[in-house]
Structure 1
Amino acid sequence: MKTFYIGSSFRNREQVRLVAQALIKEGFIHSYDWTRLKSVQTVDELATIGEHEKKAIIGSDFVIFILPLGKSSHVELGIALASQKPVYLYSQTGELFTLDHTSSFYHLKGIDRFVGPFDEFLDHLLKKLNIFSKKD
């Protein structure tokens, strides 16, 4: 079974959950669901979460990022890229891919960028992953 991780910000929590549910329904395994976390009270708790997230990314077959990202998500993107994971990057608008608002890492070869309505991204992702899962 293929595993996945989804990075984003808490404000995109519902979209993260919708993507996860759709992938789980297709037989994929969610490596770590940070959307279930309650508020963090200590730096030690934060460090533990970071360890879980790092392990989940490294152990995943592919990683999805829903823009805009949270402050830790750019580190997660770096871990995914350094681990040579396929990366799927979603933004509702193209603004975060323009020169004034983007990251150089969003434009690396091999990153699958999608701009448009969320439901179209979900369709796009499922099509791409069905091809990906058939390569096993």
Structure 2
Amino acid sequence: MKKFYVASSFKNIEAVRYVSNHLENKGYLHTYDWTKNRKIEEGKTTSLKVLMEIGQQEIKAVGESDFVVILLPGGKGTHIELGIALGQKKKIFLYSKDGSINNIEKTSTFYHLPEVEKCYGTLEELVNKIAASENLTSRF
């Protein structure tokens, strides 16, 4: 069973839940669902200790995953998770609804590496693209 992690910003929680639920329904295992963390859901990450604990869980989840889904727009945490996934040679699905990741003024060099599969369109199309991918294990 393939394992996945979804990284994004707080403002994309519903999209993260959509992708996670649909991947789980297709038989994938979610390594950590940060959207279920009550403190995040309530916007009450007021303690540095809580932030550290969440960060440790997220690092572990990226490490345990076979692939990582990045939903843009993302915040600084999203991009740190992208860096961790790249450093661990994970397969990455980078999602941008409108394809803005190809806008030279807004993009990142890391979005265009071979480990990164750029995805556009609807979240349903993203999930279907992931499920259709024949080789989700590290190729690098």
TM-score by length of structure 1 reads 0.90
| Structure 2 equivalent of residue 5 of structure 1 | 5
| Structure 2 equivalent of residue 123 of structure 1 | 128
- Please report how far the alpha carbon of residue 125 of structure 1 lies from its aligned counterpart in structure 2 after TM superposition: 1.8
In 2, distance between residues paired with 1:79 and 1:63?
Answer: 10
| Structure 2 equivalent of residue 105 of structure 1 | 110
Superposed counterparts of 1:42-81, under 5 Å? 42-81=47-86
Deviations 1:24-77 (A, max 9, x none): 112111000011122212011101100100011011111000000122111100
| Structure 2 equivalent of residue 41 of structure 1 | 46
| Root mean square deviation of aligned Cα | 1.5
| Structure 1 equivalent of residue 28 of structure 2 | 28
Q: Which runs of 4+ in 1 moved over 3 A?
A: none
- Please report how far the alpha carbon of residue 95 of structure 1 lies from its aligned counterpart in structure 2 after TM superposition: 1.8
Indicate the percent of aligned positions where both proteins have the same amino acid.
41
Point out where structure 2 has 5 or more consecutive residues left out of the alignment. Answer: none
| Structure 2 equivalent of residue 16 of structure 1 | 16
Count of aligned pairs: 132
In 1, distance between residues paired with 2:112 and 2:16?
Answer: 22
TM-score by length of structure 2 reads 0.88
